[in-house]
Amino acid sequence: MRLMPKRVKFRKSQRGKIKGNATRGNAVSFGEFGLQTLEPGWITAQQIEAGRISAAHSMPKESKLTIRIFPHKSVTSTPIETRMGKGKGEPEFWVAVVRPGTILYEIGGINEEGARETFCRIAHKMPVKVRLVRRRRTF
């Protein structure tokens, strides 16, 4: 299953700069443990899917994995040996733009040692530095 949006609002997306820290999506909401980014970057749909598959192999059946990011941005390039002009090119792949502090994955129904091992496997697939965070208690 390829991750990509059904439709997009604007046809051509610009590259853009990734500035600042994440203000939304930076707290663990659906599980007990989360995988949080420490640096900005792009995570492709293939990398998100590879992380999901590696997590599924190392988690027990009763635990639940939640993916908190979705690839909304298309990355395009014109083919090689094409002359100047003639537009922007077809989308080659889709990426999720992440800022420092964004929660990528969450796990519930598992102990801390199991979550640490699962997130270690996912971290090998990610192009950005990540860390394990725990859900905050609210009283």
- Over its C-alpha atoms, the chain yields an Rg (Å, rounded) of 17
User: What is the arithmetic mean of pLDDT over 7-18?
Assistant: 83
Cα gap 7→104, rounded to integer Å: 23
Each residue of 48-82: pLDDT tens digit? 999 999 999 999 999 999 999 999 999 988 887 88
pTM over 0.85: yes
**Total residues found in the chain within this entry:** 139
Nearest to 123 by CA among 109, 133, 110: 133
